[in-house]
Chain A
Amino acid sequence: MEAINVIEGEIAVLDRSDVDTDQIIPKQFLKRVERTGYGEFLFYDWVRDGEIVLEPHPILVSGRNFGSGSSREHAVWALHQFGFKAVIAPSFSDIFYSNSTKNGFLPVELSEDVCQALVEAGEAKIDLENQMVSWAGGEASFEIEAEIKRRLIGGLDDIALTLMDEEEIEAFESGPGGTYGPVTTSL
């Protein structure tokens, strides 16, 4: 995963709430078996119908409940590959937020008022280490879970980190916890 810390530059605005992942990347583009090639299809229907125009600025600001609906990680891949490095919104769906942090793509939760100020400012700087967003005329702090922040800044590989504790997993499996559930291969 690409390491991130400071993200700075112009802001693209998508002034809508409940932007769901079906809009971010429509289903016909989920048939690919690769992780790349999604950027050009970002918001495909809205862009093609001329409803919105988006520039690939570093930062996207949008409305509440961003990334709702389907768990498709393709939505994060599309936003990232289009050129965005961070998205700021008043709230996110849980799965979208998690998917973002697995891809070095930064979701930042800030109030409606701050989002409005950012839209008016047109440019901003996100400092992940210090958990601050600043713009001409203001700044605001944001929350992020410490371990998620550490992994984003370090560009760390979750799987490699977990496998360093493989003995703990083996110990769990040989205890009572390893006995739950069916054996799928025996059906």
Chain B
Amino acid sequence: MPKTMFEKIWEAHEVRENLLYIDLHLVHEVTSPQAFEGLRMTGRKLRRPDKTVATADHNVPTDGTPTAAMIKDALSRKQVETLEKNAADFGVPVYSLGSETQGIVHVIGPELGLTQPGMTIVCGDSHTSTHGAFGALAFGIGTSEVEHVMATQTLLQNLPRTMRINYSGTLAEGVTSKDLILATIGKLGTSGMTGYVVEYAGEAIEALTMEQRMTVCNMTIEGGGKAGMIAPDETTFEYMRGKAGVPENFDDAVERWRQLPTDEGATFDTEVEIDASRISPMVTWGTTPGMVIQVTDTVPDPEQMDSPADREAAIRALQYMGLDAGTPMEEIRPERVFIGSCTNSRISDLREAAGAIKGRKVADSVRAMVVPGSALVKAQAEDEGLDRIFSEAGFEWRGAGCSMCLGMNPDTLFDGERCASTSNRNFEGRQGKGGRTHLVSPTMATAAAIEGHFVDIRNWS
């Protein structure tokens, strides 16, 4: 009987019904301390340190602070130091501040070759869906589940539903995988994928690079999806080849991974068709990722919305965002620009952003920063001279971390500041209390930094 890729991975990991074996557990400082403490209180051991890896990312300053002990914020310092101690006590490898492989947990997994096709991967972080870009089943969990995985290397799970989104056609010049996923969430809504494992498929997906695919899978959770997946192919294998953690017999592994893609004739609970050639550069206007429109559109009018819940939410969102219905998106003027986060901080994101600068300068009205996703990405970018391109244009070049995506570290927006951000959430206060976030692609963020307002990247010379 034909099977979906999800079904193949699920069945290969069932210890028994509803108990799933976990191949890789990624750990960071914010959602793990209570889980480690739980192990201590019950006298349990961490079952498989060799399938676990930890890094510090959410709390770390991006100003070059070299060690956890040097973090100025006392609570952040304690949390990162607690991670280091917990990792040492339980035998877990940890890439903390100062490590040459430290970085955002969803950036370092793939770059170290830890993320591989056919695996089950979990982390106490909702953007774990990122790793599905390699044909893995990867999803975010809470701290109780983190403790469960630590103690048992398994997770209690009910069989989710499956969805496939088929993208026909190809993306137009200037339109990125960030626009593709924003447009998809705009179409399906913030809970349109709730309860589903989503497979992204079709011509437009196959044409994406691995890092572009990661951007798509990363934002699955913003549509409510449990996990996002893309079938592994030659693009996947070439990206992985030579990375530190990949199997020694790489070619044999590739032959196994070739069996993973969804079989012809396999069925999904839901199928969605999207014409990728019709997708435009997208910008969010509100306070959920589903409140998103084309950059050429105007801010929507709540009075035109059908459902009372949508109308009320839109009125609140416009008030929070300080926007009036009918304003062209291209007239909106961000004062801050953030290029970074687990969505868009990989080397190709930085290359695209730097490539769009072409000798121009950041507008006087804008403060812009670039935050590489990992210490390795930072080193690579500096080898290529990208840091100089950014610095000469007036962008701040920072150290690796989650930075202003969630403002748990010194990088935050001030009250009322408007930001063009390559991150994943435009929730109220996400980047700082009163901060106003517009989600965009790296090239759209770069253009906004230079022009001082949003522009249609397709017509930007």
Task: Report which A residues bind B (CB closer than 8 A).
Answer: 16-18, 20, 22-23, 26-28, 30-35, 45, 63-65, 68-74, 76, 91-95, 98-99, 102-103, 112, 145, 147, 158-159, 162-163, 165-166, 168-169, 172-173, 177-178, 180-187
B366 → A minimal CB distance (Å)? 24
Interface centre among A98, A99, A165, A178 (most CB of B within 10 A): A98
Beta-carbon contact of B191 and A184 below 8 Å: no
**Interchain CA distance A103-B53 in the complex, whole Å:** 26
With A22-B430, A71-B31 as contacts: A17 and B313 at CB distance below 8 Å: yes
Do B147 and A181 touch (CB < 8 A)?
no
Beyond A98-B145, A185-B49, list 5 extra A-B contacts (CB 8 Å): A31-B73, A69-B425, A95-B140, A181-B23, A183-B245
Query: Which of B12-20, B204-212, B228-236, B297-305 lies at the binding interface?
Result: B12-20
With both beta carbons as reference points, the residue of chain B lying nearest to A18 in the complex is identified as: B288
- In the complex the two chains form, is B195's CB within 8 Å of A94's CB? yes
Contact of A16 with B34 in the complex, beta carbons under 8 Å = no
Given contacts A26-B429, A31-B75, contact A187 B154 (CB under 8 A): no
A43 → chain B, closest Cβ, in Å?
A: 11
Nearest-Cβ distance from residue B131 to partner chain A, whole angstroms:
11
Contacts of A165 in B (CB 8 A): 15-16, 19
Q: Name the B residues within 8 Å of A70 (CB-CB).
A: 125-126, 406, 425
Give the one of B144, B158, B430 with max A CB within 10 A. Answer: B144
Say yes or no: A33-B245 contact (C-beta < 8 A), given A23-B427, A183-B50.
no
A31 to B244, CA, bound (A): 32
User: Which residue on A lies nearest to B432, using beta carbons?
Assistant: A27
Q: Are B194 and A94 in contact (CB under 8 A)?
A: yes
Cβ of B174 under 8 Å from chain A = no
A184 to B, closest residue via Cβ: B53
Chain B residues whose C-beta falls within 8 Å of the C-beta of A23 in the assembled complex = 427-429
- Which residues of B are found within 8 Å of A98, using beta-carbon distances? 141-142, 145
Complex Cα distance, B142 from A71, in Å, reads: 6
**29 A-B pairs whose Cβ atoms sit less than 8 Å apart in the complex:** A16-B313, A18-B313, A22-B427, A23-B428, A27-B406, A33-B33, A33-B37, A34-B33, A35-B34, A65-B194, A68-B191, A68-B288, A69-B425, A71-B141, A73-B31, A92-B194, A95-B140, A98-B141, A99-B143, A102-B145, A158-B148, A173-B21, A181-B24, A181-B114, A182-B245, A184-B50, A184-B245, A187-B244, A187-B245
Beta-carbon contact of B433 and A91 below 8 Å: no
Quick check: is B112 within 8 A (CB to CB) of the other chain? yes
Q: Which residues of A contact B430 (CB under 8 A)?
A: 22, 27
Closest residue of chain B to A151 (Cβ to Cβ) is B156
Q: B residues within 8 A CB of A145?
A: 158
CB distance from A124 to the nearest CB of B (A): 21
* Residues in chain B near residue A159, CB distance under 8 A: 42, 44, 147-148, 151-152
Contact between chains at B19 and A180 (CB < 8 Å): no
The docked-state distance in angstroms from the alpha carbon of A173 to that of B191 is 36
Measured between alpha carbons, how far is A102 from B35 in the docked complex, in Å? Answer: 13
Please pick, from A20, A162, A182, the residue contacting B24 in the complex, using a CB distance under 8 A: A182
Q: Which of B49, B126, B153, B288 contacts A169 (CB 8 A)?
A: B153
Task: List residues of chain A with CB within 8 A of the CB of B75.
Answer: 31-32
- A177 in contact with B112 (CB, 8 Å): no
A31 touching B427, Cβ below 8 Å: no
Q: State whether B15 touches A169 (Cβ < 8 A).
A: yes
Q: Does B452 contact A (CB under 8 A)?
A: no
Minimum CB–CB distance from A22 to chain B (whole Å) comes to 5
A45-B433, A159-B44, A163-B151 are contacts. A187–B112 as well, Cβ < 8 Å? yes
Bound-state Cα–Cα, A30 to B408, Å: 8
A177: nearest chain-B partner, CB-CB: B21
Contact of B15 among A69, A73, A172, A183 (CB under 8 A): A172
Q: Are B141 and A64 in contact (CB under 8 A)?
A: no
CB distance from B341 to the nearest CB of A (A): 13
Cβ–Cβ < 8 Å partners of B143 in chain A: 35, 73-74, 99
Chain B residues with Cβ below 8 Å from A166 are 152
Among A27, A112, A172, the one with the most B-chain Cβ atoms within 10 Å of its Cβ is A27
Q: Is the C-beta of B190 less than 8 angstroms from some C-beta in chain A?
A: yes
Chain B residues with Cβ below 8 Å from A102 are 142, 144-145
Say yes or no: is B51 at the interface (Cβ < 8 Å to chain A): yes
Contact A68 B142, CB 8 Å, known A20-B427, A30-B408, A182-B114: no
The interface stretch among B116-124, B276-284, B343-351, B356-364 is B116-124
- Would you list the 8 A-B pairs with minimal beta carbon distance, nearest first? A181-B23, A102-B144, A33-B33, A99-B142, A31-B75, A73-B142, A182-B245, A71-B140
Nearest CB of A to B153, in Å: 7
Closest to A75 in B: B142
B66 at the interface (CB under 8 A from A): no
CB-based contact B119/A181 at 8 Å = yes
Cα A164 to Cα B226 with chains together (Å): 28
Say yes or no: A177 contacts B144, CB within 8 Å. Answer: no
Q: Which residue of B lies closest to A66 (CB)?
A: B191
